[in-house]
Structure 1
Amino acid sequence: MNPLFEKYQDAPWLTYSAGEPSKEASEIVKPEMLKLRAAYPMGPGVEMDYLDDTTPQGITRSDIEMKGGNKLYIYKDETKHVGEDRLVFYLHGGGYIRGNGKYNRCNAMIHLEKLGLPVACCEYRLAPKNREPAAITDVTAAYRYLVDDLGYDPAKMIIAGDSAGGCLALSLGLRIKANGEPMPIGFVLYSPSTNLHMSSESHHYNLGKDIIFPNGVREVIRFYADEDRLDNPDVSPFFGDFTGFPKTYFCAEDTEVLCSDTLECSAKMHENGVDVRTHIYHGLWHAFPALHPMPPLLPETDEVFNKIKEFLLL
């Protein structure tokens, strides 16, 4: 057994799909991921220009400028009337140092198609120019705008995110809880960073195996937060108390450096009484349901969304 999973082999919340990946993943999409990693290395200001920003026919995008100049983007499928009173609030990844609301267009399209729900994405200030707590401040402001100004009901909202966005989603949830406000339907997290100390096993065991972060994420975190802030739940949500959180779904991959962030946070949430479901895959890549640069849509991604629907929406 992969040593990362030894202590969790009997965990009721964990599903580990250790088999070989689909041909679509290994023969088509993964090679493209390797090319894109070389063309767009992780670094401040390195944006992924290959991402299509056009809105497909039948999809509308509302661009809302919030106080401070950041934008909120709301995508709706005008051909469907399913879940119009519900919403996915999606927070993009990018290591806290790149990305914007438009960067989420492909994520929004997938969630629109697979969940049948409108999707809101927001811009937030990026490091190193704007270190924490700028990002969580902006994410909180966007959430407040959705609820207070646009009238979305938190009890009909899913908060989701990948990588750094997954971290911000959990930190936002802890802020909502601390304020005594209604919680969302649930959280959906793709390979979130949850403990920015980077001390968990996979940060060492998976160095050189992770195709997105072969050298780890230490340099990225250095841009974002100071060492003396890493225990703060606004930075590392692992250190928060999740008691009272709604259903939470995690998805990650077993060779990524952030795999243990998912495992350890899932275990803590379970201990805090949260209904958690965690699915770990083999042979794919970090945040694969979100980092999907080209067709075809993977069978594994379809499986993830079927699990999300079964767990949170049915």
Structure 2
Amino acid sequence: MSRRSSTTGAASAGWPDPASGSAVSERTIAKLLERLRRLPPQTSLTLGQLRAQYERAHVAFPLEGEVTLQVLDTGPVRGEWLLPAGASDAVVLYLHGGGYVIGSPRSHRHLAADIALAAGTRAFTLDYRLAPEHPFPAALDDAVVAYRWLIASQRVKPGRIVLAGDSAGGGLVLTTLVALREAGLPLPAAGVCISPWTDLSCSLPACDPQRPSHDPLIDHAVLRAMAHATMGRRSLRDPRVSPLFADLRGLPPLLVQVAGGEALVDDARQLALAASEAGVHTTLEVWPRMIHVWHWYARMLDEGQQAIERVAQFMHGALRQRAEADPA
């Protein structure tokens, strides 16, 4: 389902205002970049301020009436159900980005809902624990528990689940899939990784702070600080947090989307190569001129909506193939 809508409250929330003529009418990356560069530098903000800035996204990009929100704030699994009208029984288990230290189901509510709407499925956005209060492996443990909960308590068949996530959440999709495989659990139908962070050691060329970047959304110093906040004295190349170094054999089909000029483009490229070499059916899409997780701005950027629709197409194919392979 394609959606073109304006929203209110974005400017007061510290985000670009999609209701201000030029962003809506032209819907170009140049206009978006112009507005993003007006935001305060990430290095000038405290962790609390970064978290608060991210949280205001649910004000900037509110849900529309065709999606029902159900909040789970007690019990072993916390998060949000996003239920589009007429959705199928399939579920997107969405793992939000934020470097493992910021972000929540509220900050990514609009993105998970847009994916669910496009795919005609339900979505559950997990409220996993954040570092540094809850360092590694808290996020991974929570993701595995959530998947088990979907199967055991919510009676969702594994073949009707797709794991999806952006940035750190995209890396968490992969480490969760590996953990599920290692635990001998039936795997979901597919994984979707949007601008995934797959190497917390930030050792790949595109992550070099000396390399020019046209993407205002990732600050190299902040990225490295997030990695250390998550891992403490542990190795940043631990495959349970940096899936680029994991054994990826036996994973379900993967869609990897990344912007051509962003700091994590090599994380995505090398991950796709490693997965393909491990025998995983992997689709890599490198979108030129885009920025980190450009899907976030789908309501003011045509390519954002187009990328979400590509995610929906991939999900439909993966779910159909899984149903044909396992009709029971």
- The TM-score with structure 2 as length reference comes to 0.80
Cα distance in 2 between the residues matched to 1:231 and 1:27: 35
How far is 1:41 from its partner?
A: 6.2
Residues 227 and 236 in structure 2, CA contact (< 8 A), matched pair in contact too: no
Aligned equivalents of 1:52 and 1:73: distance in 2?
Answer: 13
Residue 78 of structure 2, aligned match among 71, 77, 83: 71
- Counterpart of 2:70, as a letter, is S
2:90–2:161 contact (8 Å) kept in structure 1: yes
> Cα–Cα, structure 1 residues 304 and 179, in superposed 2: closer, same or farther, change >3 Å?
same
Aligned to 1:267: 273
- Residue 244 of structure 2 is aligned to residue 238 of structure 1: yes
Task: Please show how residues 215-230 of structure 1 align to structure 2 within 5 Å.
Answer: 215-216=220-221, 217-230=223-236
Q: 2:181 aligns with which of 168, 177, 181?
A: 177
RMSD: 2.4
Residue of structure 1 in register with 2:320 after alignment:
none
- Give deviations 1:168-204, integer Å, cap 9, x for gaps: 1111100111112211111111111111111111111
1:189 is aligned to 193
Give deviations 1:148-169, integer Å, cap 9, x for gaps.
1111111111100000111111
Query: Tell me, which stretches of 5 or more residues in structure 1 are unaligned?
Result: 1-21
Aligned to 2:165: 161
Bigger drift between 148-157 and 100-109 goes to 100-109
Matches of 1:41 and 1:88, distance apart in 2: 35
Q: Structure 1 counterpart of 2:251, which letter?
A: F
Give the aligned partner of residue 287 of structure 1.
Answer: 293
Letter matched to residue 119 of structure 2: L
1:269-305 per-position Cα deviation (integer Å, ceiling 9, x unaligned): 000111111111222211111x32x732x33223323
Deviations 1:20-51, CA, capped at 9 Å, x for gaps: xx952324322232234548967522222432
Structure 2 residues not aligned, in runs of 5+ = 1-24, 318-328
Is 1:134 matched up with 2:138? Answer: yes
Counterpart position of 1:61: 69
**SS of residue matched to 1:35:** coil
Moved more, 54-63 or 258-267: 54-63
Deviation at 1:264, TM superposition (A): 0.5
Secondary structure of 2:143's partner? helix
Distance 2:97 2:38 in 1: 19
Q: Which amino acid aligns with 2:303?
A: E
Q: TM-score, normalised by structure 1?
A: 0.83
Matched, 1:200 2:207: no
Instruction: Find the residue that maps to 1:196 and give its secondary structure.
Output: coil
Which residues in structure 2 correspond to 1:41-60 (within 5 Å)? 43-45=46-48, 46=50, 47=52, 48-52=54-58, 54-60=62-68
Match of 1:18 in 2: none
1:40, 1:64 → 2: CA distance? Answer: 33
Aligned mates of 1:149, 1:42 — CA distance in 2: 40
